[in-house]
Amino acid sequence: MSMSAVSDFLIVTTPSLPGFRVKKVLGVASGLTARTRGIGGKFVAGLQSLAGGEVSAFTMEMEKARVEALQRLKDNATRLGANAVVGVDVETTEIFQGTVLVSATGTAVVLEPE
């Protein structure tokens, strides 16, 4: 299986990938994004929290933030010359009340088929 058969760019949490070997380690790559809920999101979240269960407005914002952080990780790794990022860790931290930082960090590498 060739790299392009899987994807043009791989992002994985594992340190290696079956069928590929790390040809070159380029260094640490990361992507960050900070998100807040706007007034509308806070209102919807407040109503949903009264009813109990999932607060979908917040879940949707967190998913957008995760995707954005991973895209920024990919962009930064691509600038380093990588075609993959291994050992990815995605973390969330509340930095201010109502503001969440999502970070994605991993090792930018050049993979080649075994």
Name all domains of the chain by residue range, CATH numbers in brackets. Answer: 3-113 (3.30.110.70)
Q: Which two tokens stand for residue 86?
A: 């291994």
**For 77-87, how does the pLDDT look when each residue is reduced to its tens digit (9 = 90+)?**
999 999 999 99
DSSP lists the bridge partners of residue 91 as 103
Mean pLDDT of 9-33: 95
Q: Provide CB contacts within 8 A for 108, sequence distance 6+.
A: 25, 26, 27, 28, 29, 76, 77, 80, 81, 82, 84, 85
**For 90-109, how does the pLDDT look when each residue is reduced to its tens digit (9 = 90+)?**
998 888 777 888 999 999 99
Is it the case that residue 4 has pLDDT exceeding 50? no
d(CA 23, CA 113): 9
3-state secondary structure of 9: coil
**For 57-74, how does the pLDDT look when each residue is reduced to its tens digit (9 = 90+)?**
677 878 888 999 999 999
**The whole model's pTM is what?**
0.78
